[in-house]
Amino acid sequence: MRLALVGFGTVGQGVAEAVALKRELLKEHFGSDLRIVAAFDSRSYVYDHDGLDPLALVERKKAGKGLGKVRRKEVSEMLSELDYDVLVEMTPTNILDAEPGYTNIRTALRCGRDVVTSNKGPLALKYRSLDQLAKRNGVELRFEATVGGATPIINLSRELLLAEKVDSMKGILNGTCNFILSRMGEEGLPFEYVLKEAQEMGIAETDPSYDIDGIDSASKLAILTNAIMGQNVTYHDVRRTGIRMITQEAVALAAKEKKVIRLIGEVNEGGVEVSPRMVPIGHPLAISGTLNVLHMHTDLAGAITVVGRGAGRKETASAIMSDLVGLLKRNACLVNGRVK
Amino acid sequence: MRLALVGFGTVGQGVAEAVALKRELLKEHFGSDLRIVAAFDSRSYVYDHDGLDPLALVERKKAGKGLGKVRRKEVSEMLSELDYDVLVEMTPTNILDAEPGYTNIRTALRCGRDVVTSNKGPLALKYRSLDQLAKRNGVELRFEATVGGATPIINLSRELLLAEKVDSMKGILNGTCNFILSRMGEEGLPFEYVLKEAQEMGIAETDPSYDIDGIDSASKLAILTNAIMGQNVTYHDVRRTGIRMITQEAVALAAKEKKVIRLIGEVNEGGVEVSPRMVPIGHPLAISGTLNVLHMHTDLAGAITVVGRGAGRKETASAIMSDLVGLLKRNACLVNGRVK
């Protein structure tokens, strides 16, 4: 299976490392070799039909060098010309117009390539059209890495809980907000102080709006709502309240009732919403730190909760590997009717 | 896919109801009909090659009637004579010699039938020999329902996290103990009082030893250790301490350090052990009530935690359905190389 990696920052490098680490294991299991044949960063690219050395790519990037040649065309133009099986799209999320990810993904799907992505923009804004395009072309669009970091919640719901009807979902989908709210509760500190601390630790961005105003959580909730509950919503359909207005006093009052305040994304019959809520201590949603969690209610299983690290190089690479394993499984099944 | 249901108590009836509920959905998805062709309780049985009405079976059982004819032979003898595709083994767990489940499962595997089971005894005592027998006969032995109630943790680890190396696991595998420890912590009540309360509520048995001495947790931990970490242990290899000696004072002391006491099963380089431990409030293992939880550490994903209801008619049926879906998927793949 020949991969084209678009975006070679933290996530792209993590995927290259994971491919190097797991290549033998996957070859043994599926009889199929995972080869990176193309890699693109914002300015340069490299292509070799026989496969590139993943760790050498990471070394070049770490040394501050480009990946190979300077790129003179749009990535999407090259994606329609080069030969590969799977586009792994890892450009940064853009919640305004979903570019350049949207065009990259559309191009690959149109050319009959499978796509695995960690880019939330295209899924949060244009899920339905991308899903239809993939189906029309008989290929797969997988996006486990867009939500919940390393937790394989989308594949869990779609593959293992296939016989279940998911009635409602609740989750904590942003590790930065959860870190801030946890610290406020556990140390009795004010919002502004903890935000500054999170920025110094690299947990929050210099412009923290994307996290603390719930934009990131709302994007992820829209993706989950479509993928797991079969709905057709976008980021703009999510009612959204962030955590800027949460005071020390509110946190202390919650604590008196043995509760914590968390930024919860919820989808139920009433709609799709991200807002701060009180959660009883001991409830699976009352977790601390930068963790992410999704709590689903289904007709047979009742409540199932999955918790994992929300972000990180290896964690996101893990989610992308989970999608690549899904494609390897399907290929093994298509080729010879055998799959372990 | 023709099912033979052995054991028609709470779990067996739950499975019959789930088959009735999900039959159409699964037929649509896999093009294969899920039919119950045989059902056995402790004294009676019924068999129809064309399929039985699942809800009529539940009605008969609820009305206190036998399932059909009085059984004159051993179940295992009949399992080697009748025609079916999958044995669903749901007789009660017996941690002394694993019977009658062990013989029932062996018989079906030897006859080239797939097996799905909720019975912990055979897996906790004789996993390796059953696993080998299944492989030799080219069939599958699935046992999602033995551990963690409705949470699909075994299938999650084996199928979705196939590329991950699981280094260690920690979990709360018994809902009764977790209920008792939660109540002691939250209400400041003594062990004996809460145990009695749990017995009155039907959460604990009249003889509570199986739960509170950690026997149930140790059986489940042995199963997970083999299934997820590829080891070869039995119930007897698990070092085991129950919760009888946990005092109100110990619980109060833990609370002062913002911790709770939970009965934790753990497998790491040091071995396999069930014992009471302190867990910080806010940690994914610090859950309350009758929930079960499994916390895995892997090389790429880091820590992943899955929480769900530990027991119950629908919940256990859900886990069995998850295994049946796995078999339907494999069949779809074998037959025509197509699987959604």
pLDDT of residue B336 exceeding 80, the answer is no
Contact B338 A333 (CB under 8 A): yes
B66 and B197 housed in the same domain? no
B269 exposed, middle or buried (CB, 10 Å; 0-12, 13-18, 19+)?
exposed
Number of compact structural domains in chain A: 2
What is the spatial distance between Cα A182 and Cα A23, in angstroms, rounded to a whole number?
39
- This complex has an ipTM of 0.90
Residue A322 to residues A149, A308, B156, B162, Cα–Cα distance (Å): 12, 14, 11, 8
Interface test with B, best of A158, A162, A285 (most B CBs within 10 A): A162
The predicted pLDDT at position A311 comes to: 79
A113 and A179 housed in the same domain? no
Please name the member of B152, B286, B318 whose beta carbon is closest to the beta carbon of A282. B286
Residues B307, B293 contacting (CB under 8 angstroms): yes
**How much helix, strand and coil, in percent to the nearest 5, is found in chain B?**
45, 20, 35
B77 and B209 housed in the same domain? no
pLDDT of residue A209 exceeding 90, the answer is yes
Nearest to B203 by CA among B185, B233, B176: B176
What is the spatial distance between Cα A205 and Cα A288, in angstroms, rounded to a whole number?
20
Instruction: Kindly list the residues from chain B whose CB atom is less than 8 angstroms away from the CB atom of residue A22.
Output: 163
Q: How far is B137 from chain A (nearest CA, A)?
A: 15
B134 and B173 housed in the same domain? no
Instruction: Kindly list the residues from chain A whose CB atom is less than 8 angstroms away from the CB atom of residue B287.
Output: 282-284
Contact A304 B303 (CB under 8 A): no
Instruction: Report yes or no on A160 lying in a domain.
Output: no
Residues 264-323 in A contacting B (C-alpha not used; CB under 8 Å): 281-284, 286-289, 291, 293, 298-309, 312, 314-315, 317-319, 321-322
A171 and A144 housed in the same domain? no
Q: Looking at residue A60, which CATH number applies to its domain? A: 3.40.50.720
Instruction: Report yes or no on A173 lying in a domain.
Output: yes
Contact B150 A288 (CB under 8 A): no
Q: How far is A26 from chain B (nearest CA, A)?
A: 7
Contact A300 B287 (CB under 8 A): no
Instruction: Report yes or no on B283 lying in a domain.
Output: yes
Instruction: Report yes or no on A159 lying in a domain.
Output: no
pLDDT (tens digit per residue) in A327-337: 999 998 876 54
A29 inside 8 A of chain B by CB: yes
pLDDT of residue B98 exceeding 90, the answer is yes
Q: Could you confirm whether A220 is annotated as catalytic?
A: yes
Instruction: Report yes or no on A158 lying in a domain.
Output: no
A50 and A86 housed in the same domain? yes
Contact B337 A339 (CB under 8 A): no
pTM, to two decimals: 0.92
Contact B150 A309 (CB under 8 A): no
Instruction: Report yes or no on B153 lying in a domain.
Output: no
Report the share of chain A in percent with pLDDT over 90: 89
The predicted pLDDT at position A335 comes to: 66
pLDDT (tens digit per residue) in B197-214: 999 999 998 999 999 999
Contact A309 B302 (CB under 8 A): yes
pLDDT (tens digit per residue) in B209-252: 999 999 999 999 999 999 999 999 999 999 999 999 999 999 99
Report the residue of chain A nearest B335, measured CA to CA.
A337
A195 and A120 housed in the same domain? no
Nearest to A306 by CA among A331, A332, A287: A287
pLDDT (tens digit per residue) in A10-51: 999 999 999 999 999 999 999 999 999 999 999 999 999 999
B257 contact partners, CB below 8 Å, separation of at least 6:
B278
Instruction: Kindly list the residues from chain B whose CB atom is less than 8 angstroms away from the CB atom of residue A158.
Output: none
Instruction: Kindly list the residues from chain B whose CB atom is less than 8 angstroms away from the CB atom of residue A306.
Output: 304-307
A142 and A172 housed in the same domain? no
Instruction: Report yes or no on B43 lying in a domain.
Output: yes
B77 and B177 housed in the same domain? no
Q: Looking at residue B247, which CATH number applies to its domain? A: 3.30.360.10
B54 and B132 housed in the same domain? yes
Q: How far is B304 from chain A (nearest CA, A)?
A: 5
By residue range, what is the domain housing residue A180?
166-310
Query: What would the two tokens of residue B120 be?
Result: 């912990």
Give pairs for A242-245: CB < 8 Å, separation 24+.
A242/A177, A242/A212, A242/A213, A242/A214, A243/A177, A243/A180, A243/A181, A243/A191, A243/A212, A243/A214, A243/A276, A244/A191, A244/A212, A244/A213
Residues B339, B32 contacting (CB under 8 angstroms): no
pLDDT of residue B337 exceeding 80, the answer is no
Instruction: Report yes or no on A155 lying in a domain.
Output: no
B50 and B72 housed in the same domain? yes
A281 and A331 housed in the same domain? no
Question: Which H helix or E strand runs over A55?
Answer: helix A54-62
